[in-house]
């Protein structure tokens, strides 16, 4: 019988997209089954103040998901970590791992911020362009974070949406229009959504065909890292080049 893998998601209270896109992606896996279990941190407006207050709720969420006995846990808010400065995904993942270990739990611990870095590394993408929904100051922090990870961000767009519920309603044609406005000359990849709340799953394949580049999002990178963390093959259909076939960096 195919094993069922329990996935824990720590999400902002106003997020509705990651709990749709990540399950939709993993449902395509040919050799595994998944269930999804979320714990929420209160956050409505994507601002530095609300992100810090949201992060302060992390320990409660981790305890709740420990009780569910999850096999992997994804801290599913990219900007919440990147806004805290370079290397924050490593510090957070370490703290969550230690908290779970103290409760006798040892799931794979991942974050959307770390997953995007991992996905870009797996693609060998050192020069990228990206689309974010954030207000410009937060978008700049995301760009600076990736540059600190050795990624050259050649061009980027900020859609200037501060209400997180509204981010979940950004239409795909607006995202594609922003991507078309980017200078992709010399880019190795396009991050079409640097946010787990901005819908983009349906855009990945079409964007790769249009721009002739690997295209990934916070959601596809999260799915890739979850599969890697669980020791499962990472091939998923119609999800972009990151999830299309084993990559050279994979063992």
Catalytic residue among 11, 76, 77, 191: 77
Per the annotation, the verdict on 77 as an active-site residue is yes
Per the annotation, the verdict on 61 as an active-site residue is no
State the helix-helix crossing angle for 112-123 and 218-229, rounded to 10 degrees: 90
For residue 168, CA distances in Å to 147, 155, 172, 212 come to 26, 23, 11, 27
Find out whether 226 and 86 touch, Cβ atoms under 8 Å. no
C-alpha dihedral (12, 141, 195, 130), degrees to nearest 10: 180
Catalytic residue among 82, 159, 195, 215: 195
Catalytic residues: 77, 195
């Amino acid at each position: 019988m195919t094993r069922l893998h329990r996935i824990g998601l720590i999400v902002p209270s106003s997020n509705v997209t990651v709990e749709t896109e990540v399950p939709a992606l993993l449902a395509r896996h040919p050799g595994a089954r998944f269930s999804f279990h979320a714990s929420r941190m209160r956050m409505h407006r994507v601002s530095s103040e609300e992100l810090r207050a949201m992060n302060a709720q992390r320990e409660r969420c981790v305890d709740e998901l420990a009780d569910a006995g999850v096999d992997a846990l994804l801290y599913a808010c990219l900007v919440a970590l990147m806004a805290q400065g370079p290397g924050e995904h490593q510090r957070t993942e370490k703290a969550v791992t230690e908290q779970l270990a103290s409760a006798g739990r040892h799931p794979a611990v991942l974050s959307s911020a770390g997953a995007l870095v991992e996905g870009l590394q797996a693609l060998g993408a050192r020069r990228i362009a990206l689309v974010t929904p954030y207000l410009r100051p937060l978008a700049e922090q995301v760009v600076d974070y990736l540059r600190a990870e050795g990624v050259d961000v050649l061009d980027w767009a900020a859609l200037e949406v501060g209400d997180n519920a509204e981010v979940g309603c950004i239409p795909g044609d607006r995202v594609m229009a922003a991507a078309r406005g980017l200078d992709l000359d010399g880019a190795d990849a396009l991050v079409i959504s640097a946010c787990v709340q901005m819908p983009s799953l349906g855009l990945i394949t079409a964007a790769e065909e249009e721009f002739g580049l690997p295209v990934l999002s916070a959601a596809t990178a999260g799915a890739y890292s979850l599969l890697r963390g669980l020791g499962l093959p990472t091939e998923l259909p119609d999800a972009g080049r990151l999830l299309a076939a084993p990559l050279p960096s994979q063992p």
